[in-house]
Amino acid sequence: MDGNTPSSSSSSPAAEGSHPGWMSVCVCACVFLILCPLALLRAAANLTQLCAMMKARWITHTAHRKRSWLSFLRSAASASAAQVFSCSLGAAVSDLRRAPACCRPLPVLRATEDHTVLIRTDLLHPGKVPVPFPCPEERRDRWDDTHVKMPCSQHNLFPVDPTTLQSRWDLINKALSVSFSSSHDVQDAILKYNASHAKHWSFTALHSYCTGLQEAESAQLFNDLLPSMARLALRASSLFTQPIPLLTAQRCGSITLSQDQVSCLLANAFFCTFPRRNSRRTEFSNYPDINFSRLFEGSSRAKQEKLKTLLCYFERVTKRRPDGLLTYTRQSLQSLPSWSSSEQQFSRLHISSSGTIEEQGHGMLQVDFANRFVGGGVTGSGLVQEEIRFLINPELIAARLFTEALEDNECLIITGAEQFSRYSGYANTYRWAGNHDDQTPRDEWLRRHTEIVAIDALQYRSFLQQFQPDCLRRELNKAFCGFVRPGTPAECMSAVATGNWGCGVFGGDTRLKAVLQMMAAAEAGRDLMYFTFGDVDLLRDVHRIHTLFTHTQATVGSVFSLLLEYYECVCKKTGRGKPEETLYSFLTERLDR
C-alpha cells in the first residue's frame, strides 16, 4: 500500500488540475468555431471591397489614360493646325538680305538737278530737328505748273469783291487762331477759307467721332491737340522756304524733306488749306486728293478708325517734333527687259502664310499694292492694303501732294517713313490698336531703313484678260520698275517683301501674280519674301512651282514663253470664266517633260 501511496498522491493533483485546462481548450475551440465564419465573412467583405477599390482604380487609371491620349491628340491636332496656319516654306529667312546689313555707304546728301533737298545738310545731326533751307530771309516762292501751290504763297489770293484781292493765307491764319470747343468750330474754321464748298462738304464723320469721345478725351482734343495742330499748320511759311517740285509723269526726280516739314504738310491737309486741290477740274486733275475733306464725310465705323489713327500721329508729332528725314523718288524706266529672251534664273523664295509685309518684312523692299493715284482711298472710304499702310505710316500721305498719277513704266519709292500706329483687321474690320514705337535704325541721311515702293496693278474686267500678252508684259514691267535699282549691285539690294499684289477687287489671279513677281525679282537681282495672308493652299502651290522652276533650271525667258503658250493653247479656247486646265498644271506638265 505504501508503495502505491506516492503514485496515488502524485496523480491526484494532476487529475485535479487537468479539468480546468481542458475546459479552456474547449472554450477556445467553441469561440474559434463561432468566430471563424464571422472572420471569413469579414474577410470576404474586405476582399470584395478590395476588388471594388481595384476596379475603381483601374477605371480611373484607364479614364485618365484615355483623357491623356485624347489630350495628346488634341494638342497634336492644335499644334498641327497652328503649324499649318503659320507655315513657311522655301529659303531660310536668314538667307535673305535686309537693310542695313546689305547696304553700301550713301554719298554725301546734296541737292542736284533731279533731287530737291529742303533742309540744311551742313546742320544735319542725329537727335536734332533739321533746319529748313534756305533761311526764312531768303525764302523763294513759286506759283506755276511745276511746283506745289502752297497755302502760304503770296500768290494764294481770293477776290473780296470784283476789284479787290485778299491773301488767303491771312484768312487761314485768322480762322485757325481761334479756340475750338466742338467739331462744329473746326468745320466753321475750315469753311471760312473754303466758302465755295460750304454747301456740299459734309463733316458727319468728324462730328460722330467727337460725339463718341469721353469728357477727358474731348477736353484733350479741343484744348490741346487741335490747337497744336493748327499752330503746326501755320508754321508752313517758316518751314518751307523754297518751292516743292511736282514729281511729274515720265521724269525721274527725288524730294528730301524733314519729318518736321512733312508733319506741317499733313496738318495743312487736315485743315484743308491747299489751294487748287478741291476739284478735278483744275491743273491738278491728274493728282490724288490731299485735303482731308472727304475723310470728314459719312458715318461709317471705318472713318472713325481712320481718324483715331491719324490723330494718334498728330498727337505724337505735336508733343515731340520728329528729327529724321524722308526721300520721295519717282522712278521712270525708259529701257525695259525683253522678257522672252531673258536668261536670268529664278532667285530665292521664302513664302509664309502668316505675318505682314511691314513687320516680318522689316529691312526689305516693302511693296505697296498701289493705286495709280498713290494712297488710293486713304482720305476717302478705301481701307485695304495700301490705305492701311498709309494710315499707320502717315508720312506716306504727303506723297499725294506732289506725285502725279503713275504710268505703266513708273513707280514711287519712299524711304524713311516711320510707323506710328498698330492696327488689327482689314477693310470693314480695321481697328486702330494703339501707338507703335518704331525702332527701325536710321541711315546716314537720318532716314529710317524702311523702303516702300508703290506699284499699281491693272484692274481686269474678266479673269482671262490678265493672260493676254500685253497685260503680262505690262505687269512684269511695272513690278520690275519697282524692284530694280539701276547701278546698284545685287549684293547691295535687300529682298522684296510682297504678297497678293493686284488681286482682290482688281481681279488678279494670285498664282499668276506670284509667278510674275518671281520673274521680275529674278530679273532685278533680288530675292523674294512672299506673304499669302493665311492662304495655305496658295503657299504650297507657289512653293511647288518655284521649286520646279529652280530644279529644272528654267529661265525667266522660258517661263514667259510658257505663259504665252498657255494663253494661246488654253485661254483663247476658253469661252468665259476660268479655264479647266490651271496655269500651274500647264506649267508643271510642260516643265516635267
Q: Characterize the bridge pairing of strands 115-117 and 253-258.
A: parallel
Going by C-alpha positions, the residue among 473, 504, 518, 509 that lies closest to residue 583 is 509
Based on the residue annotation, tell me whether 437 is a catalytic residue of this protein.
no
- What is the spatial distance between Cα 55 and Cα 45, in angstroms, rounded to a whole number? 15
Report residue 329 as a C-alpha cell.
523718288
Q: What share of the chain is helix, strand, coil (3-state, %, to 5)?
A: 50, 15, 40
Catalytic residue among 305, 315, 358, 368: 368
- What is the spatial distance between Cα 353 and Cα 369, in angstroms, rounded to a whole number? 18
Based on the residue annotation, tell me whether 387 is a catalytic residue of this protein.
yes
Task: Yes or no: say if 503 and 533 are a contact pair by the CB < 8 Å rule.
Answer: no
Q: How far is CA 323 from CA 124, 270, 358, 451, 533, in A?
A: 10, 21, 22, 18, 34
Catalytic residue among 289, 315, 358, 387: 387
Going by C-alpha positions, the residue among 187, 289, 270, 277 that lies closest to residue 231 is 270
Give the strand order in the sheet containing 115-117: 88-90, 349-352, 528-531, 496-498, 365-370, 451-456, 410-415, 325-332, 253-258, 115-117
Catalytic residue among 386, 395, 523, 527: 386
Based on the residue annotation, tell me whether 224 is a catalytic residue of this protein.
no
State the residue for C-alpha cell 490723330. 311
Q: How far is CA 575 from CA 216, 328, 458, 508, 562, in A?
A: 63, 45, 22, 18, 21
- What is the spatial distance between Cα 551 and Cα 543, in angstroms, rounded to a whole number? 12
β-sheet bridge partners, residue 352: 88, 531
β-sheet bridge partners, residue 424: 431
β-sheet bridge partners, residue 555: 345
Going by C-alpha positions, the residue among 477, 466, 266, 495 that lies closest to residue 365 is 495
Tell me the catalytic residues: 368, 386-387
